[in-house]
Structure 1
Amino acid sequence: MDADAALELVKHGTTLLLLDVPQYTLIGVDTQMFSVGPSFKGIKMIPPGPHFVYYSSSSRDGKEFSPIIGFFVDTCPSEVIVRRWDQQEERLVKVSEEEEERYCQAVKSLEFDRQLGPYNLSQNGDWKQLSNYISKSIIVRFEPIGGEISVACEPGMVNNIPKMVMEKTLDDQLEISKFSTSVNKNVNSRRCYYTSIPRFIKQKGLQGQELTSLNLDKTQLLETLLIKDYGGSEDVLLGELQFAFIAFLMGQSLEAFLQWKSLVSLLFGCTKAPFHTRTRLFTKFIRVIYYQLKYGLQKDSRDTSGAVSGASALLDDSWLSADSFLYRLCKDFFSLMHDASSVDGHLLSWTRKLQELLENNLGWEFKPNSVVDGMHFEEDDEFAPVVEMCDDPSYN
């Protein structure tokens, strides 16, 4: 970010004012997490737009932490968001309109300026890649009543699903927590409004091979959902995919992980749509998941401002092993690309980037082994797909 843009954010950036937050509490905004010190009163210079705020209350010695609570906001230039720590409920709550106005004026008069940590603008590029399809309407559409997202709201879900390693980790976090917060109350009203994605297609009048074909290729299911649930908007679907990933990775929500997994399985389960009806959607989808995994596979780190990276350690060997659902889906998709008679150039390029990311970062191997135009093929070049380039700025 250049000097002029940085100066603009100093003047017109959003301020998140957090009052009475106990020391050692972890406070996160987007990809950045802060450990609260004795003078901490919030974060300033937050760029306008969508953001995810999340936090975890601490024991007095700072050694134990409660399950994370998070919420999305869509901010405007020079906006001040005020939250106060409720000691009894151990969570951030809104203040009255009168209080909020008083604190807004105090912030604008720079009364809290020395107690506000700066948003690390160098990390804003990563956040934009993770949230470019999230808007105010996306947040309103999928957020739960009250806006708070937490695994503490999902005990019924945790107890009723088969558990892979990552899911057990979240379950254990909830079980061993010694904190009791009000977020556990009325949990049924605090679930996100995610789109229902059927695992299997059932259709009257169809049996045997026809029904099997529908389930092997989920193109028809994708088309039905796009029309019925997304109003024909591909970007709303991608917005939900990003919403769920952020709620999972930063907010450690199991419900969000399962929704992200369902959406990824749906899209990777289509064999016709990537080449015929929804090439543009799949190019954007592969780009979205590429940046999600690229960020999620980074190790936690501490930057020069003292903020801790918001990447969760959950996104590692616990669910990205070679026998995971994602490996199988990617392997089948890469094979599908190989077998296609022609492939859009933009789709091929992003698929290649995704494959290289998984191979380099996780050591995954995808056969076939020879390389044609950046993709791996075992047959001779004459059997490789024809690359078709479309001059469409929306791919960029």
Structure 2
Amino acid sequence: MSDNTAVLLQAMRMGGALPPEIVEYMYHNGAFLLFLGFPQASEFGIDYKSWKTGERFMGLKMIPPGVHFVYCSIKSAPRIGFFHNFKAGEIVVKKWNKEAETFEDEDVPAEQIPEKKRQLKSMDNSLAPYPYENYRSWYGLTDFITPETVERIHPVLGRITSQAELVSLETQFMEDAEQEHKETHFKNRVDRQNPVRTRFVDQHGLPIMKIREGYEIRFQEIPALTVTKHQVGIDYSDRLYVLLRGLGGDWKQLLAEMQIAFVCFLQGQVFEGFEQWKRIIHLMSCCSNALGSEKELFMAFIRVLFFQLKECPTDFFVDIVSRDNFLTTTLSMLFANVRDSVHGGAELKKKTAQFKQYLTNQFKWDFDCEDGGGEK
């Protein structure tokens, strides 16, 4: 935890508005985001809060150093956003492109930074302060995310969008072949010399689509697992170990990915984030053999999931999370595995039992019914 973060969390515990000395401290040590040319009366947000922009809006000031998620939307269009690791005193500049209806980077050369900082004083009334009232919630949702996590997962082209940029596999193949000037491009063209060729279609004859290269969120590949009452005893610890090796053996990066996936869905409205979040929960719930060797991971996993569910809007569960009861079905497996484990230890069993009781009380979920989980 950085010194800036510690100062802010201490101020949050005091409640109410930030003391003047903290405001002054963050003005000089926080980051600035200039978001130029963004239309009035449009949605703009950072982390856990969004607003409708006013006529003079030009960005944000006093952003706490660390990883944040910035997002926007115009005319009720799908949200687009980005993660960024803001450094103390950094000035990030984005410019709105009206024609493309998206934002673009505007680099600030090092020699221009002093002049930019002098200009900030004249722009002060057009810069909204970071919403510190939500900082503790944001920190709790993202405490495992590091700059390395963002660099590893973030789309190459720098934008996360809730409306995927799709392209058919056939088109992607042709574009790749043409770009690389490969002979296969000419062999697979449809023309008078090549009227027929194998196409990329599904069993119904429809083109197979994928997210265009550069736009995809680069999540770790996790096999989809079907979790039902008939799978009691099945263990996927070997898959967890493979996944952790792919992350350099750092289990904190798995939880960081779980947190990024959750934020992508909750704030970015990206469904693939929800799917990755589900896949991680499914995998973690089916690894009874790993409970001993990865005890720290499972303890932290329970805490991360508890905080995510605690911070969710109420209708989030009604509309999405409770659909098909995937959480009750899946977590029933986790709770049973921990309960029956001889290697998990007393502390993990205690924390898991407390989490189970919280979910039962808060959401009226029954994890002990015969069919593996459901609502009371």
Partner in structure 1 of residue 190 of structure 2:
none
Q: Provide the C-alpha distance between the structure 2 equivalents of 1:349 and 1:288, rounded to a whole number of angstroms.
A: 16
- CA 1:28–1:189 in 2, change beyond 3 Å: closer, same or farther? same
Contact 1:70 1:251 in 2 (8 A): yes
SS at match of 1:189: coil
Once the two structures are superposed, the pairs formed by residues 181-260 of structure 1 within 5 Å of their partners are 187-199=212-224, 216-227=234-245, 229-260=246-277
Q: In the alignment, residue 273 of structure 1 is paired with which amino acid? A: A
Structure 1 position 295 matched with structure 2 position 311: yes
Contact 1:82 1:100 in 2 (8 A): no
- CA 1:118–1:328 in 2, change beyond 3 Å: closer, same or farther? same
Q: In the alignment, residue 334 of structure 1 is paired with which amino acid? A: F
Partner in structure 2 of residue 84 of structure 1:
95
Once the two structures are superposed, the pairs formed by residues 1-396 of structure 1 within 5 Å of their partners are 1-2=10-11, 3=19, 4-58=21-75, 65-97=76-108, 101=112, 105-106=116-117, 109-153=120-164, 155=166, 187-199=212-224, 216-227=234-245, 229-274=246-291, 276-296=292-312, 298-299=313-314, 315-321=316-322, 323-341=324-342, 343-367=344-368
Q: In the alignment, residue 301 of structure 2 is paired with which amino acid? A: F
**Deviation string, structure 1 residues 5-59 (Cα, Å, up to 9, x no partner):** 443212211111111111121111111111111121111111000001111112x
**Deviation string, structure 1 residues 353-378 (Cα, Å, up to 9, x no partner):** 4323322332212338xxxxxxxxxx
Q: In the alignment, residue 326 of structure 2 is paired with which amino acid? A: F
Q: In the alignment, residue 64 of structure 2 is paired with which amino acid? A: P
Contact 1:9 1:47 in 2 (8 A): yes
Contact 1:322 1:364 in 2 (8 A): no
Contact 1:53 1:70 in 2 (8 A): yes
Q: Provide the C-alpha distance between the structure 1 equivalents of 2:108 and 2:321, rounded to a whole number of angstroms.
A: 46
Q: In the alignment, residue 220 of structure 2 is paired with which amino acid? A: T
SS at match of 1:272: helix
**Deviation string, structure 1 residues 295-351 (Cα, Å, up to 9, x no partner):** 12x35xxxxxxxxxxxxx5x2212232742111011222223333356534423432
TM-score, normalization: structure 1? 0.71
SS at match of 2:288: coil
- CA 1:350–1:91 in 2, change beyond 3 Å: closer, same or farther? farther
Q: Provide the C-alpha distance between the structure 1 equivalents of 2:285 and 2:83, rounded to a whole number of angstroms.
A: 27
Q: Which of 1 and 2 has greater Rg?
A: 2
- CA 1:322–1:56 in 2, change beyond 3 Å: closer, same or farther? closer
- What is the Cα-based RMSD across aligned positions, in Å? 2.9
Offset at 1:96?
Answer: 4.5
- CA 1:43–1:193 in 2, change beyond 3 Å: closer, same or farther? same
**Deviation string, structure 1 residues 47-83 (Cα, Å, up to 9, x no partner):** 000001111112xxxxxx1111111000111111111
Structure 1 stretch displaced more, 241-250 or 4-13: 4-13
Q: Provide the C-alpha distance between the structure 2 equivalents of 1:186 and 1:341, rounded to a whole number of angstroms.
A: 44
TM-score, normalization: structure 2? 0.74
- CA 1:96–1:336 in 2, change beyond 3 Å: closer, same or farther? closer
- CA 1:284–1:90 in 2, change beyond 3 Å: closer, same or farther? same
Q: In the alignment, residue 72 of structure 1 is paired with which amino acid? A: F
Q: What runs of 5+ residues in structure 1 fail to find an aligned partner?
A: 59-64, 158-184, 202-211, 300-312, 369-396
Q: In the alignment, residue 277 of structure 1 is paired with which amino acid? A: S
Offset at 1:113?
Answer: 0.8
Q: In the alignment, residue 216 of structure 1 is paired with which amino acid? A: I
Offset at 1:191?
Answer: 0.4
- CA 1:362–1:153 in 2, change beyond 3 Å: closer, same or farther? same
Q: Provide the C-alpha distance between the structure 1 equivalents of 2:233 and 2:353, rounded to a whole number of angstroms.
A: 26
- CA 1:33–1:357 in 2, change beyond 3 Å: closer, same or farther? farther
Q: Identity of aligned pairs, percent?
A: 30
- CA 1:318–1:80 in 2, change beyond 3 Å: closer, same or farther? same
Q: Provide the C-alpha distance between the structure 1 equivalents of 2:211 and 2:222, rounded to a whole number of angstroms.
A: 25
Q: Provide the C-alpha distance between the structure 2 equivalents of 1:248 and 1:316, rounded to a whole number of angstroms.
A: 13
* Paired positions, count: 308
Q: Provide the C-alpha distance between the structure 1 equivalents of 2:301 and 2:162, rounded to a whole number of angstroms.
A: 26
Q: Provide the C-alpha distance between the structure 2 equivalents of 1:34 and 1:350, rounded to a whole number of angstroms.
A: 37
Q: Provide the C-alpha distance between the structure 2 equivalents of 1:325 and 1:15, rounded to a whole number of angstroms.
A: 41
SS at match of 2:318: coil
